[in-house]
Protein backbone atom coordinates (compact mmCIF):
# COMPACT_ATOMS: atom_id res chain seq x y z
CA UNK A 1 0.00 0.00 0.00
CA UNK A 2 1.18 3.55 -0.76
CA UNK A 3 2.07 5.50 2.37
CA UNK A 4 -0.13 8.37 1.19
CA UNK A 5 -3.21 6.12 1.06
CA UNK A 6 -2.85 4.96 4.66
CA UNK A 7 -5.25 5.69 7.52
CA UNK A 8 -3.99 7.19 10.79
CA UNK A 9 -4.17 3.74 12.36
CA UNK A 10 -2.25 1.97 9.59
CA UNK A 11 0.45 4.64 9.47
CA UNK A 12 0.68 4.67 13.27
CA UNK A 13 1.31 0.91 13.27
CA UNK A 14 4.01 1.34 10.63
CA UNK A 15 5.65 4.20 12.57
CA UNK A 16 5.53 2.35 15.85
CA UNK A 17 6.88 -0.82 14.24
CA UNK A 18 9.75 1.26 12.74
CA UNK A 19 8.77 0.10 9.25
CA UNK A 20 8.59 3.72 8.15
CA UNK A 21 9.71 7.03 9.66
CA UNK A 22 7.64 10.19 9.91
CA UNK A 23 10.18 11.93 7.65
CA UNK A 24 9.63 9.22 5.01
CA UNK A 25 5.85 9.43 5.38
CA UNK A 26 5.91 13.23 5.25
CA UNK A 27 8.17 13.16 2.19
CA UNK A 28 5.76 10.75 0.48
CA UNK A 29 2.82 13.06 1.26
CA UNK A 30 4.70 16.15 -0.01
CA UNK A 31 5.54 14.32 -3.26
CA UNK A 32 1.92 13.25 -3.60
CA UNK A 33 0.82 16.87 -3.05
CA UNK A 34 3.21 18.08 -5.79
CA UNK A 35 1.92 15.51 -8.22
CA UNK A 36 -1.87 16.00 -7.78
CA UNK A 37 -2.16 19.66 -6.75
CA UNK A 38 -2.22 20.96 -10.35
CA UNK A 39 -5.44 18.97 -10.87
CA UNK A 40 -7.09 19.31 -7.44
CA UNK A 41 -6.01 22.58 -5.79
CA UNK A 42 -6.67 21.52 -2.20
CA UNK A 43 -4.02 23.75 -0.68
CA UNK A 44 -3.55 27.49 -0.34
CA UNK A 45 -0.18 27.13 1.37
CA UNK A 46 2.10 24.07 1.55
CA UNK A 47 4.77 24.16 4.28
CA UNK A 48 7.41 21.55 3.32
CA UNK A 49 10.31 22.85 5.49
CA UNK A 50 8.25 23.12 8.66
CA UNK A 51 6.62 19.75 7.90
CA UNK A 52 9.94 17.94 7.55
CA UNK A 53 11.30 19.60 10.71
CA UNK A 54 8.19 18.53 12.65
CA UNK A 55 8.50 15.01 11.20
CA UNK A 56 12.13 14.78 12.32
CA UNK A 57 11.10 15.87 15.82
CA UNK A 58 8.31 13.26 15.78
CA UNK A 59 10.81 10.57 14.78
CA UNK A 60 12.95 11.46 17.80
CA UNK A 61 9.89 11.24 20.00
CA UNK A 62 8.99 7.83 18.56
CA UNK A 63 12.59 6.65 19.07
CA UNK A 64 12.17 7.53 22.76
CA UNK A 65 9.12 5.24 22.85
CA UNK A 66 6.68 8.16 23.09
CA UNK A 67 4.30 7.37 20.22
CA UNK A 68 0.78 8.74 20.52
CA UNK A 69 -1.66 7.69 17.77
CA UNK A 70 -1.07 11.04 16.05
CA UNK A 71 2.70 11.31 16.56
CA UNK A 72 4.38 11.74 13.20
CA UNK A 73 1.11 11.65 11.23
CA UNK A 74 1.05 14.22 8.38
CA UNK A 75 -2.13 16.29 8.55
CA UNK A 76 -3.42 19.44 6.90
CA UNK A 77 -5.91 21.97 8.21
CA UNK A 78 -8.34 24.43 6.71
CA UNK A 79 -6.92 27.92 6.23
CA UNK A 80 -9.45 29.23 8.76
CA UNK A 81 -7.30 27.98 11.68
CA UNK A 82 -4.69 30.40 12.96
CA UNK A 83 -1.20 28.89 12.77
CA UNK A 84 1.59 30.81 14.45
CA UNK A 85 4.14 31.87 11.86
CA UNK A 86 2.28 30.26 8.93
CA UNK A 87 0.24 32.49 6.62
CA UNK A 88 -3.52 32.20 7.25
CA UNK A 89 -5.83 33.69 4.61
CA UNK A 90 -9.27 32.20 5.31
CA UNK A 91 -9.60 32.07 1.53
CA UNK A 92 -9.66 35.88 1.35
CA UNK A 93 -7.51 38.52 -0.32
CA UNK A 94 -8.04 40.71 2.73
CA UNK A 95 -5.80 38.34 4.74
CA UNK A 96 -3.37 37.60 1.91
CA UNK A 97 -0.34 38.68 3.96
CA UNK A 98 -1.56 37.69 7.44
CA UNK A 99 0.90 35.72 9.62
CA UNK A 100 -0.86 34.88 12.90
CA UNK A 101 0.97 35.57 16.17
CA UNK A 102 -0.64 32.53 17.86
CA UNK A 103 -2.32 29.23 16.95
CA UNK A 104 -5.84 27.85 17.25
CA UNK A 105 -6.34 25.59 20.28
CA UNK A 106 -7.52 22.66 18.10
CA UNK A 107 -4.32 22.77 16.06
CA UNK A 108 -2.21 23.22 19.24
CA UNK A 109 -3.78 20.02 20.60
CA UNK A 110 -2.91 18.03 17.46
CA UNK A 111 0.58 19.52 17.42
CA UNK A 112 0.99 18.56 21.06
CA UNK A 113 0.30 14.94 20.05
CA UNK A 114 3.18 15.21 17.57
CA UNK A 115 1.13 15.62 14.39
CA UNK A 116 2.90 17.12 11.36
CA UNK A 117 1.38 20.08 9.49
CA UNK A 118 1.65 19.73 5.69
CA UNK A 119 -0.06 23.03 4.96
CA UNK A 120 -3.23 25.09 4.92
CA UNK A 121 -6.25 24.01 2.90
CA UNK A 122 -8.39 25.84 0.40
CA UNK A 123 -11.90 26.90 1.37
CA UNK A 124 -14.69 29.25 0.46
CA UNK A 125 -13.81 32.80 1.46
CA UNK A 126 -14.49 33.17 5.20
CA UNK A 127 -16.24 29.76 4.99
CA UNK A 128 -19.09 31.34 3.04
CA UNK A 129 -20.05 28.89 0.34
CA UNK A 130 -21.03 25.34 -0.50
CA UNK A 131 -18.71 24.71 -3.44
CA UNK A 132 -15.26 26.27 -2.78
CA UNK A 133 -15.93 28.58 -5.72
CA UNK A 134 -15.80 31.69 -3.52
CA UNK A 135 -12.14 31.15 -2.58
CA UNK A 136 -9.83 33.96 -3.67
CA UNK A 137 -7.19 31.27 -4.35
CA UNK A 138 -8.92 29.27 -7.08
CA UNK A 139 -11.62 26.61 -6.96
CA UNK A 140 -10.69 23.24 -5.50
CA UNK A 141 -11.79 20.39 -7.78
CA UNK A 142 -13.47 17.15 -6.81
CA UNK A 143 -10.86 14.35 -7.01
CA UNK A 144 -13.53 11.92 -8.25
CA UNK A 145 -14.22 14.11 -11.29
CA UNK A 146 -12.45 17.42 -11.67
CA UNK A 147 -15.37 19.01 -13.55
CA UNK A 148 -17.31 18.93 -10.28
CA UNK A 149 -17.16 20.95 -7.08
CA UNK A 150 -15.72 19.29 -3.95
CA UNK A 151 -18.39 20.91 -1.77
CA UNK A 152 -17.73 23.64 0.71
CA UNK A 153 -16.78 25.45 2.63
CA UNK A 154 -14.18 22.89 3.83
CA UNK A 155 -13.74 21.76 0.21
CA UNK A 156 -9.95 21.60 0.41
CA UNK A 157 -10.17 19.57 3.63
CA UNK A 158 -12.36 16.94 1.93
CA UNK A 159 -10.53 16.93 -1.41
CA UNK A 160 -7.14 16.53 0.32
CA UNK A 161 -8.35 13.38 2.09
CA UNK A 162 -9.98 12.00 -1.08
CA UNK A 163 -6.89 12.73 -3.20
CA UNK A 164 -4.53 11.28 -0.53
CA UNK A 165 -2.79 14.62 0.02
CA UNK A 166 -3.12 14.31 3.82
CA UNK A 167 -3.87 11.41 6.14
CA UNK A 168 -6.63 13.43 7.80
CA UNK A 169 -7.68 17.08 7.97
CA UNK A 170 -9.57 19.59 10.07
CA UNK A 171 -12.47 21.66 8.81
CA UNK A 172 -15.17 23.84 10.26
CA UNK A 173 -18.94 23.48 9.92
CA UNK A 174 -21.36 26.41 10.24
CA UNK A 175 -24.20 25.10 8.06
CA UNK A 176 -22.78 21.84 6.69
CA UNK A 177 -19.26 22.87 5.75
CA UNK A 178 -17.65 19.63 6.99
CA UNK A 179 -20.43 17.15 6.21
CA UNK A 180 -21.39 18.31 2.71
CA UNK A 181 -17.82 18.26 1.26
CA UNK A 182 -17.14 14.96 3.06
CA UNK A 183 -20.25 13.58 1.36
CA UNK A 184 -19.26 14.94 -2.06
CA UNK A 185 -15.67 13.65 -1.79
CA UNK A 186 -16.43 10.26 -0.23
CA UNK A 187 -14.78 10.71 3.16
CA UNK A 188 -15.90 10.73 6.78
CA UNK A 189 -16.67 14.14 8.30
CA UNK A 190 -17.96 14.95 11.76
CA UNK A 191 -19.46 18.15 13.10
CA UNK A 192 -19.31 17.93 16.89
CA UNK A 193 -21.88 19.39 19.25
CA UNK A 194 -21.53 23.14 19.66
CA UNK A 195 -19.08 23.67 22.53
CA UNK A 196 -17.40 20.24 22.23
CA UNK A 197 -14.30 21.66 20.50
CA UNK A 198 -12.69 25.04 21.22
CA UNK A 199 -13.21 27.76 18.62
CA UNK A 200 -10.26 29.78 19.94
CA UNK A 201 -8.09 30.86 17.04
CA UNK A 202 -10.67 29.86 14.43
CA UNK A 203 -11.55 32.83 12.24
CA UNK A 204 -15.17 33.60 13.05
CA UNK A 205 -18.00 33.45 10.50
CA UNK A 206 -21.18 32.92 12.55
CA UNK A 207 -20.15 32.44 16.17
CA UNK A 208 -23.32 30.76 17.45
CA UNK A 209 -23.07 28.09 14.72
CA UNK A 210 -19.35 27.56 13.92
CA UNK A 211 -17.80 24.30 15.08
CA UNK A 212 -14.47 22.53 14.40
CA UNK A 213 -14.32 18.89 13.29
CA UNK A 214 -12.27 16.21 11.52
CA UNK A 215 -12.39 14.78 7.97
CA UNK A 216 -10.85 11.33 7.65
CA UNK A 217 -10.67 8.14 5.58
CA UNK A 218 -12.66 6.07 8.06
CA UNK A 219 -14.66 6.21 11.28
CA UNK A 220 -11.86 4.90 13.53
CA UNK A 221 -9.63 7.79 12.39
CA UNK A 222 -12.51 10.19 12.96
CA UNK A 223 -12.85 8.98 16.56
CA UNK A 224 -9.10 9.45 17.10
CA UNK A 225 -9.09 12.98 15.70
CA UNK A 226 -12.18 14.02 17.66
CA UNK A 227 -10.72 12.63 20.88
CA UNK A 228 -7.57 14.67 20.29
CA UNK A 229 -9.31 18.04 19.77
CA UNK A 230 -12.36 17.81 22.07
CA UNK A 231 -12.49 19.38 25.48
CA UNK A 232 -12.93 22.56 27.45
CA UNK A 233 -10.66 25.52 26.71
CA UNK A 234 -10.52 28.44 29.09
CA UNK A 235 -9.77 30.64 26.07
CA UNK A 236 -13.22 29.85 24.56
CA UNK A 237 -15.96 30.64 27.05
CA UNK A 238 -18.51 28.82 24.86
CA UNK A 239 -16.60 25.54 25.04
CA UNK A 240 -18.31 23.13 27.39
CA UNK A 241 -16.70 21.51 30.40
CA UNK A 242 -18.06 17.96 30.03
CA UNK A 243 -15.77 14.93 30.16
CA UNK A 244 -14.48 13.70 26.78
CA UNK A 245 -15.32 10.01 26.35
CA UNK A 246 -12.81 7.56 24.89
CA UNK A 247 -14.45 7.53 21.47
CA UNK A 248 -12.17 4.80 20.11
CA UNK A 249 -12.74 2.20 22.81
CA UNK A 250 -16.52 2.04 22.33
CA UNK A 251 -16.55 1.92 18.51
CA UNK A 252 -17.34 -1.80 18.31
CA UNK A 253 -20.50 -1.72 20.45
CA UNK A 254 -22.68 -2.38 17.41
CA UNK A 255 -26.21 -1.19 16.66
CA UNK A 256 -28.36 -4.05 17.94
CA UNK A 257 -31.46 -2.46 19.44
CA UNK A 258 -30.33 1.06 18.45
CA UNK A 259 -33.36 3.20 17.63
CA UNK A 260 -32.80 5.13 14.43
CA UNK A 261 -35.22 7.88 13.49
CA UNK A 262 -36.13 8.66 9.90
CA UNK A 263 -37.34 12.27 9.77
CA UNK A 264 -40.03 12.29 7.10
CA UNK A 265 -39.23 15.88 6.04
CA UNK A 266 -35.80 14.69 4.82
CA UNK A 267 -37.20 12.04 2.49
CA UNK A 268 -39.08 14.34 0.20
CA UNK A 269 -40.18 13.70 -3.37
CA UNK A 270 -37.50 16.04 -4.77
CA UNK A 271 -34.71 13.84 -3.45
CA UNK A 272 -32.35 12.71 -6.20
CA UNK A 273 -33.00 9.08 -7.24
CA UNK A 274 -29.37 8.00 -6.68
CA UNK A 275 -29.44 9.48 -3.17
CA UNK A 276 -32.73 7.71 -2.43
CA UNK A 277 -31.26 4.38 -3.55
CA UNK A 278 -28.24 4.88 -1.29
CA UNK A 279 -30.46 5.77 1.68
CA UNK A 280 -32.71 2.73 1.13
CA UNK A 281 -29.67 0.46 0.99
CA UNK A 282 -28.24 2.02 4.18
CA UNK A 283 -31.53 1.50 6.01
CA UNK A 284 -31.53 -2.14 4.87
CA UNK A 285 -27.94 -2.58 6.11
CA UNK A 286 -28.82 -1.20 9.54
CA UNK A 287 -31.93 -3.41 9.76
CA UNK A 288 -29.78 -6.43 9.03
CA UNK A 289 -27.39 -5.32 11.80
CA UNK A 290 -30.26 -5.27 14.29
CA UNK A 291 -31.19 -1.58 14.46
CA UNK A 292 -34.83 -0.53 14.79
CA UNK A 293 -36.32 2.22 12.65
CA UNK A 294 -38.82 4.75 13.92
CA UNK A 295 -40.59 7.38 11.82
CA UNK A 296 -40.08 10.81 13.33
CA UNK A 297 -40.92 14.36 12.30
CA UNK A 298 -38.90 17.57 12.33
CA UNK A 299 -41.80 19.78 11.29
CA UNK A 300 -39.89 23.07 10.92
CA UNK A 301 -37.25 21.69 8.52
CA UNK A 302 -38.63 23.74 5.65
CA UNK A 303 -37.85 26.98 7.57
CA UNK A 304 -34.25 26.14 8.43
CA UNK A 305 -32.51 27.63 5.38
CA UNK A 306 -34.33 30.96 5.78
CA UNK A 307 -33.56 31.01 9.50
CA UNK A 308 -29.91 30.18 8.87
CA UNK A 309 -29.34 32.84 6.22
CA UNK A 310 -30.67 35.55 8.53
CA UNK A 311 -28.80 34.47 11.68
CA UNK A 312 -25.53 33.51 9.97
CA UNK A 313 -25.32 36.66 7.86
CA UNK A 314 -26.23 38.89 10.82
CA UNK A 315 -23.45 37.34 12.90
CA UNK A 316 -21.07 37.53 9.94
CA UNK A 317 -21.75 41.22 9.34
CA UNK A 318 -20.75 41.86 12.94
CA UNK A 319 -17.76 39.46 13.02
CA UNK A 320 -16.31 40.79 9.78
CA UNK A 321 -16.41 44.39 10.98
CA UNK A 322 -12.90 43.74 12.37
CA UNK A 323 -11.40 43.78 8.85
CA UNK A 324 -10.87 47.51 8.68
CA UNK A 325 -7.25 47.80 7.58
CA UNK A 326 -6.07 49.11 10.97
CA UNK A 327 -4.30 46.25 12.75
CA UNK A 328 -3.78 43.49 10.15
CA UNK A 329 -4.76 42.48 6.65
CA UNK A 330 -5.16 44.60 3.55
CA UNK A 331 -5.08 48.38 3.89
CA UNK A 332 -6.04 50.59 0.94
CA UNK A 333 -4.47 53.94 0.20
CA UNK A 334 -6.80 56.63 1.56
CA UNK A 335 -6.94 60.25 2.72
CA UNK A 336 -9.11 59.77 5.80
CA UNK A 337 -10.05 57.02 8.24
CA UNK A 338 -13.57 56.30 6.93
CA UNK A 339 -12.29 56.11 3.38
CA UNK A 340 -9.56 53.72 4.56
CA UNK A 341 -12.10 51.39 6.17
CA UNK A 342 -14.40 51.42 3.18
CA UNK A 343 -11.73 51.05 0.51
CA UNK A 344 -9.82 48.34 2.41
CA UNK A 345 -12.96 46.26 2.86
CA UNK A 346 -14.27 46.80 -0.68
CA UNK A 347 -10.94 45.84 -2.24
CA UNK A 348 -10.31 42.92 0.13
CA UNK A 349 -13.64 41.06 0.22
CA UNK A 350 -15.00 38.93 -2.61
CA UNK A 351 -18.56 39.06 -3.94
CA UNK A 352 -20.11 36.30 -1.77
CA UNK A 353 -18.70 37.82 1.40
CA UNK A 354 -20.01 41.25 0.40
CA UNK A 355 -23.42 39.74 -0.39
CA UNK A 356 -23.66 38.10 3.05
CA UNK A 357 -22.40 41.18 4.91
CA UNK A 358 -25.03 43.21 3.02
CA UNK A 359 -27.82 40.77 3.82
CA UNK A 360 -26.80 40.60 7.49
CA UNK A 361 -26.47 44.37 7.77
CA UNK A 362 -29.91 44.76 6.22
CA UNK A 363 -31.45 42.19 8.59
CA UNK A 364 -29.95 43.98 11.60
CA UNK A 365 -30.70 47.52 10.46
CA UNK A 366 -33.18 49.81 12.12
CA UNK A 367 -36.77 48.90 11.27
CA UNK A 368 -35.93 45.33 10.18
CA UNK A 369 -34.26 43.92 13.29
CA UNK A 370 -37.43 42.46 14.82
CA UNK A 371 -38.97 41.36 11.53
CA UNK A 372 -35.91 39.46 10.36
CA UNK A 373 -33.29 38.80 13.02
CA UNK A 374 -35.45 38.30 16.11
CA UNK A 375 -38.01 36.37 14.06
CA UNK A 376 -35.25 34.02 12.87
CA UNK A 377 -34.01 33.54 16.44
CA UNK A 378 -37.55 32.55 17.48
CA UNK A 379 -37.86 30.07 14.63
CA UNK A 380 -34.48 28.70 15.69
CA UNK A 381 -36.10 27.85 19.03
CA UNK A 382 -38.86 25.94 17.19
CA UNK A 383 -36.24 24.03 15.18
CA UNK A 384 -34.31 23.12 18.33
CA UNK A 385 -37.55 21.95 19.96
CA UNK A 386 -38.17 19.68 16.94
CA UNK A 387 -34.89 17.88 17.66
CA UNK A 388 -35.56 17.59 21.40
CA UNK A 389 -38.98 16.06 20.68
CA UNK A 390 -37.67 13.62 18.07
CA UNK A 391 -34.76 12.53 20.28
CA UNK A 392 -37.19 11.57 23.04
CA UNK A 393 -38.05 8.53 20.88
CA UNK A 394 -34.79 7.68 19.09
CA UNK A 395 -31.02 7.43 19.71
CA UNK A 396 -29.86 8.79 16.36
CA UNK A 397 -31.42 9.98 13.11
CA UNK A 398 -30.45 8.89 9.61
CA UNK A 399 -30.80 11.27 6.66
CA UNK A 400 -29.07 12.18 3.40
CA UNK A 401 -26.29 14.79 3.73
CA UNK A 402 -27.26 16.62 0.54
CA UNK A 403 -30.19 16.33 -1.87
CA UNK A 404 -27.83 15.43 -4.76
CA UNK A 405 -24.25 14.32 -5.37
CA UNK A 406 -21.72 17.06 -6.22
CA UNK A 407 -22.82 19.53 -8.90
CA UNK A 408 -20.69 20.92 -11.71
CA UNK A 409 -18.30 23.83 -11.25
CA UNK A 410 -20.14 26.99 -12.31
CA UNK A 411 -23.60 25.40 -12.14
CA UNK A 412 -25.00 27.43 -9.21
CA UNK A 413 -22.54 30.29 -9.02
CA UNK A 414 -24.98 32.89 -10.37
CA UNK A 415 -27.93 31.82 -8.26
CA UNK A 416 -27.06 32.26 -4.57
CA UNK A 417 -30.47 31.08 -3.36
CA UNK A 418 -30.15 27.74 -5.19
CA UNK A 419 -26.65 27.38 -3.74
CA UNK A 420 -28.01 28.05 -0.24
CA UNK A 421 -30.79 25.46 -0.68
CA UNK A 422 -28.22 22.72 -1.30
CA UNK A 423 -27.51 22.85 2.46
CA UNK A 424 -31.08 22.05 3.48
CA UNK A 425 -30.27 18.75 5.29
CA UNK A 426 -27.20 19.97 7.16
CA UNK A 427 -28.25 23.45 8.35
CA UNK A 428 -30.88 22.35 10.94
CA UNK A 429 -28.19 20.48 12.92
CA UNK A 430 -26.14 23.68 13.34
CA UNK A 431 -29.21 25.65 14.39
CA UNK A 432 -30.04 22.96 16.97
CA UNK A 433 -26.37 22.88 18.08
CA UNK A 434 -26.17 19.09 18.05
CA UNK A 435 -23.69 16.69 16.39
CA UNK A 436 -23.77 14.83 13.06
CA UNK A 437 -21.49 12.82 10.84
CA UNK A 438 -21.29 12.16 7.11
CA UNK A 439 -20.02 8.80 5.90
CA UNK A 440 -19.68 7.21 2.47
CA UNK A 441 -22.84 5.32 1.48
CA UNK A 442 -22.81 4.91 -2.29
CA UNK A 443 -22.20 6.49 -5.66
CA UNK A 444 -24.31 8.33 -8.20
CA UNK A 445 -24.76 7.10 -11.77
CA UNK A 446 -22.05 9.62 -12.72
CA UNK A 447 -19.64 7.93 -10.30
CA UNK A 448 -19.68 10.63 -7.61
CA UNK A 449 -19.83 9.78 -3.90
CA UNK A 450 -23.03 9.99 -1.86
CA UNK A 451 -22.96 10.50 1.90
CA UNK A 452 -25.19 9.33 4.70
CA UNK A 453 -25.81 11.62 7.67
CA UNK A 454 -26.14 10.30 11.22
CA UNK A 455 -27.44 12.94 13.60
CA UNK A 456 -26.81 12.48 17.31
CA UNK A 457 -28.15 13.97 20.51
CA UNK A 458 -26.21 16.87 22.01
CA UNK A 459 -22.84 15.39 23.12
CA UNK A 460 -23.90 12.08 21.56
CA UNK A 461 -20.78 11.80 19.36
CA UNK A 462 -19.99 8.39 20.85
CA UNK A 463 -23.29 6.94 19.59
CA UNK A 464 -23.01 8.24 16.03
CA UNK A 465 -19.40 7.04 15.84
CA UNK A 466 -20.52 3.56 16.96
CA UNK A 467 -23.34 3.55 14.42
CA UNK A 468 -21.00 4.82 11.71
CA UNK A 469 -18.40 2.19 12.55
CA UNK A 470 -20.97 -0.60 12.36
CA UNK A 471 -22.10 0.64 8.93
CA UNK A 472 -18.53 0.90 7.70
CA UNK A 473 -17.76 -2.67 8.83
CA UNK A 474 -20.77 -3.92 6.87
CA UNK A 475 -20.10 -1.99 3.64
CA UNK A 476 -17.13 -1.26 1.39
CA UNK A 477 -17.93 2.27 0.19
CA UNK A 478 -15.15 3.83 2.29
CA UNK A 479 -12.52 1.58 0.69
CA UNK A 480 -13.05 2.99 -2.82
CA UNK A 481 -10.46 5.49 -3.98
CA UNK A 482 -10.69 8.34 -6.42
CA UNK A 483 -8.44 7.57 -9.38
CA UNK A 484 -6.40 10.72 -9.57
CA UNK B 1 -39.57 42.04 -1.74
CA UNK B 2 -38.42 44.97 -3.84
CA UNK B 3 -35.04 46.26 -2.78
CA UNK B 4 -34.04 49.55 -4.38
CA UNK B 5 -30.55 50.67 -5.25
CA UNK B 6 -30.97 53.31 -2.51
CA UNK B 7 -31.67 50.52 0.05
CA UNK B 8 -28.52 48.76 -1.10
CA UNK B 9 -26.52 51.98 -0.81
CA UNK B 10 -27.81 52.55 2.73
CA UNK B 11 -26.84 49.03 3.89
CA UNK B 12 -23.48 49.35 2.11
CA UNK B 13 -22.69 52.57 3.96
CA UNK B 14 -23.58 50.92 7.31
CA UNK B 15 -21.31 47.99 6.41
CA UNK B 16 -18.47 50.29 5.26
CA UNK B 17 -18.58 48.87 1.75
CA UNK B 18 -18.30 50.77 -1.50
CA UNK B 19 -20.08 48.97 -4.34
CA UNK B 20 -19.82 49.47 -8.08
CA UNK B 21 -23.04 50.30 -9.91
CA UNK B 22 -23.07 46.74 -11.31
CA UNK B 23 -22.75 45.30 -7.79
CA UNK B 24 -25.58 47.54 -6.57
CA UNK B 25 -27.91 46.30 -9.32
CA UNK B 26 -26.85 42.69 -8.75
CA UNK B 27 -27.32 42.83 -4.98
CA UNK B 28 -30.67 44.67 -5.23
CA UNK B 29 -32.02 41.75 -7.28
CA UNK B 30 -30.36 38.94 -5.33
CA UNK B 31 -31.03 40.28 -1.83
CA UNK B 32 -34.61 40.98 -2.90
CA UNK B 33 -34.99 37.34 -4.00
CA UNK B 34 -33.47 36.06 -0.76
CA UNK B 35 -35.75 38.30 1.31
CA UNK B 36 -38.74 37.01 -0.69
CA UNK B 37 -37.67 33.53 0.29
CA UNK B 38 -37.25 34.34 4.00
CA UNK B 39 -40.75 35.85 4.03
CA UNK B 40 -41.91 32.27 4.63
CA UNK B 41 -40.91 32.65 8.29
CA UNK B 42 -43.96 34.90 8.66
CA UNK B 43 -46.17 31.82 8.15
CA UNK B 44 -45.14 30.70 11.65
CA UNK B 45 -46.82 31.98 14.79
CA UNK B 46 -43.92 32.78 17.13
CA UNK B 47 -45.94 34.69 19.70
CA UNK B 48 -44.49 33.91 23.14
CA UNK B 49 -41.53 31.93 21.74
CA UNK B 50 -38.23 32.82 23.39
CA UNK B 51 -35.53 33.70 20.82
CA UNK B 52 -32.42 31.49 20.80
CA UNK B 53 -29.07 33.22 20.56
CA UNK B 54 -26.97 30.27 21.72
CA UNK B 55 -27.56 26.54 21.24
CA UNK B 56 -26.05 25.33 24.50
CA UNK B 57 -27.71 26.60 27.65
CA UNK B 58 -25.03 28.28 29.74
CA UNK B 59 -24.73 31.13 32.20
CA UNK B 60 -21.76 33.44 32.39
CA UNK B 61 -18.43 31.60 32.20
CA UNK B 62 -16.38 32.85 35.14
CA UNK B 63 -12.76 32.11 35.95
CA UNK B 64 -10.27 33.35 38.49
CA UNK B 65 -8.78 36.72 37.54
CA UNK B 66 -5.17 35.58 37.25
CA UNK B 67 -2.61 37.36 35.10
CA UNK B 68 -1.51 35.15 32.19
CA UNK B 69 1.26 35.68 29.67
CA UNK B 70 0.11 37.55 26.57
CA UNK B 71 1.54 37.84 23.07
CA UNK B 72 3.15 41.21 23.76
CA UNK B 73 3.50 44.42 21.78
CA UNK B 74 5.97 43.28 19.10
CA UNK B 75 3.91 40.29 17.96
CA UNK B 76 0.67 42.26 18.24
CA UNK B 77 2.10 44.86 15.88
CA UNK B 78 3.79 42.40 13.52
CA UNK B 79 0.89 42.46 11.04
CA UNK B 80 0.25 46.21 11.23
CA UNK B 81 -0.08 47.73 7.75
CA UNK B 82 1.55 50.87 9.20
CA UNK B 83 3.01 51.53 12.62
CA UNK B 84 4.70 54.26 14.56
CA UNK B 85 6.70 53.15 17.56
CA UNK B 86 4.50 50.82 19.55
CA UNK B 87 1.28 52.09 17.93
CA UNK B 88 -0.88 51.26 14.91
CA UNK B 89 -0.71 54.25 12.57
CA UNK B 90 -3.87 55.39 10.76
CA UNK B 91 -4.74 58.39 8.58
CA UNK B 92 -5.29 61.60 10.51
CA UNK B 93 -8.66 61.57 12.33
CA UNK B 94 -8.75 65.07 13.84
CA UNK B 95 -7.72 68.12 11.81
Residue by residue, pLDDT tens for chain A (484 residues) are: 899 999 999 999 999 999 999 999 999 999 999 999 999 999 999 999 999 999 999 999 999 999 999 999 999 999 999 999 999 999 999 999 999 999 999 999 999 999 999 999 999 999 999 999 999 999 999 999 999 999 999 999 999 999 999 999 999 999 999 999 999 999 999 999 999 999 999 999 999 999 999 999 999 999 999 999 999 999 999 999 999 999 999 999 999 999 999 999 999 877 899 999 999 999 999 999 999 999 999 999 999 999 999 999 999 999 999 999 999 999 999 999 999 999 999 999 999 999 999 999 999 998 899 999 999 999 999 999 999 999 999 999 999 999 999 999 999 988 888 888 889 999 999 999 999 999 999 999 999 999 999 999 999 999 999 999 999 999 999 999 999 8
- Decide if B36 is inside a domain: yes
Across the interface, of A194, A324, A377, the residue whose CB is closest to B51 is A377
Q: Is A97 on the interface with B (CB under 8 A)?
A: yes
CATH of the domain at B12: 1.10.20.60
**Could you confirm whether A177 is annotated as catalytic?**
yes
Query: Is residue B57 in a domain?
Result: no
The reported pLDDT for the residue numbered A189 is 98
Task: Work out how many domains chain B is built from and give that number.
Answer: 1
Q: Does A257 touch chain B (CB under 8 A)?
A: no
The partner residue sitting opposite B44, judged by closest CB among A303, A335, A351, is A303
* Domain extent at residue B14: 5-43
Whole-angstrom Cα distance, residue B55 to residue A395?
A: 19
In a domain, B20, yes or no: yes
Residue A469 vs residues A476, A478, B68: alpha-carbon distances, Å: 12, 11, 42
Is A436 within 8 Å of chain B by CB? no
SS3 B28: helix
Q: ipTM of this predicted complex?
A: 0.95
Neighboring chain A residues of B83 at a CB cutoff of 8 Å: none
Whether B41 contacts chain A with CB within 8 A: yes
Put simply, the answer to whether A337 touches B91 (Cβ < 8 Å) is: yes
In a domain, B30, yes or no: yes
Domain assignment present for B48: no
CB atoms within 10 A of CB B63: 7
Q: Is the pLDDT of residue B1 over 90?
A: no
The full set of domains in chain A, from first to last, is: 3-247 (3.90.1300.10), 302-378 (no CATH)
Residue at B82 is within a domain: no
Q: Give the 3-state secondary structure of residue A241.
A: coil
Single out the catalytic residue among A21, A22, A154, A177.
Answer: A177
Residue of B nearest to A434 (CA): B55
Cβ-based neighbours of A128, under 8 Å, separated by 6 or more: A134, A153, A205, A316, A352, A353, A356
B33 found inside a domain = yes
**Closest chain A residue to B19, measured at CA:** A346
Q: How far is residue A379's CA from residue A478's CA, in Å, rounded to a whole number?
A: 37
In a domain, residue B89? The reply is no
Is A154 noted as a catalytic residue in this protein?
no
Examine the residue annotation and report whether A34 is marked as an active-site residue of this protein: no
Q: Could you say which of A326, A338, A362 has the minimum Cβ distance to residue B31?
A: A362
The reported pLDDT for the residue numbered B6 is 95
Amino acid sequence: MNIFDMTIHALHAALKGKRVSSVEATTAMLERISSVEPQVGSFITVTPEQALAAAAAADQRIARGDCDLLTGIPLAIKDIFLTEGVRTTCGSRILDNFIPPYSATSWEMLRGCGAVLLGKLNQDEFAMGSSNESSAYGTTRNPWNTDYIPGGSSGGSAAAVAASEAVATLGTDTGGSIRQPASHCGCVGLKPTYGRVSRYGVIAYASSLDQVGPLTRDVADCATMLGAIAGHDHKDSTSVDTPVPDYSSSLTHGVKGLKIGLPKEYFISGLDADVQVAMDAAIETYRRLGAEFVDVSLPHTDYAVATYYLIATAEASSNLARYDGVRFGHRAEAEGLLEMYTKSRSEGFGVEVKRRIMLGTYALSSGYYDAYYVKAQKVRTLIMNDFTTAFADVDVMLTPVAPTAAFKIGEKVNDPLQMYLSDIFTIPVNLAGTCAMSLPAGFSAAGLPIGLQLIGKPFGEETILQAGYAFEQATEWHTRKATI
Amino acid sequence: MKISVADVEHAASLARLELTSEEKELFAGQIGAILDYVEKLKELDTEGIVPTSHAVPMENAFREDIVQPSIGVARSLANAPEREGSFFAVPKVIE
